[in-house]
Structure 1
């Protein structure tokens, strides 16, 4: 999932990086009523909402192992400047992922100090969370 500038746009759109767990790595026992297909659809809808709000989206969906998260996240962060970086609830909320969340926050702070951090409570609140901190 990735969106680039739309043809005919007068100016480059601000970029948003969305960091989260790839649906296949989510422990759905912590999220009753949710499964991989439903989460994938909700993430796609979240991307569409952020794009509709006036931003370009870059995804960083990963698993829970820091040795794989770190290089992928560094690669995404090095790809250009982001106006906002969203760290999803699937990483922030489960207590076993607290250390992973802290590591991600610290890496983002180091590599993209000018980016606004934002946090959603679900995929449906992603665009609103970005708009709290950044305007297109």
Structure 2
């Protein structure tokens, strides 16, 4: 049986300014992403992280990753989607995913630790 292939796209946590989010930091985000990657594996999914810069090469990085294999589900993280500074990056990445993986389900997490729930909603 083939595992559902999941790509989780997010910002490289060490590049994010957490000054407006006192309860968050790069270590917590990284730990949440890795924990949810392990949770997805335990649920029978094969999940890969694709962490990008703040926009300079992000679209190219995501397009290259999507060209490596067919992904059944693509998660775009809350850091890209909810922070106003990254609105244009979010829009750009949606279009990259739409073009490069037209058959993939797209889902969104609300924090680094609920990625598995987002994937389960759409796979």
Q: Of the candidates 85, 101, 116, which is equivalent to residue 90 of structure 2?
A: 101
Structure 1 residue ranges (4+ consecutive) displaced by more than 2 angstroms after TM superposition: none
Structure number, greater radius of gyration: 1
CA contact (8 A) 2:10 2:80 kept: yes
Query: Which of 14, 19, 26 is residue 24 of structure 1 equivalent to?
Result: 14
Of 30-39 and 18-27, deviating more is: 30-39
The counterpart of 1:44, out of the listed 34, 55, 61, is 34
Q: Which residue of the partner structure matches residue 8 of structure 1?
A: none
What's the offset of the Cα at 1:70?
1.7
Using the TM superposition, name which of 92-101 and 31-40 deviates more: 31-40
Q: Contact 1:42/1:123 (CA < 8 Å) preserved in 2?
A: yes
Q: CA deviation at 1:31?
A: 2.0
TM-score, structure 2 as length reference: 0.95
Q: Contact 1:30–1:94 at 8 Å: present in 2 too? A: no
Tell me what 1:114 maps to: 103
Tell me how far 1:36 sits from its aligned partner: 1.4
Displacement of 1:98? 0.3
- Residue 127 of structure 1 corresponds to 116
The SS at the match of 1:101 is: helix
Instruction: Kindly report which structure 2 residues correspond to 1:7-86, keeping only aligned pairs within 5 A, or say none.
Output: 11-65=1-55, 67-86=56-75
Aligned CA RMSD, in angstroms, stands at: 1.0
Alpha-carbon distance in structure 2 between the residues aligned to 1:76 and 1:118 = 17
> 22-31 or 83-92, which moves further after superposition?
22-31
SS in 2 for 1:73: helix
* Distance of 1:63 and 1:126 partners within structure 2: 20
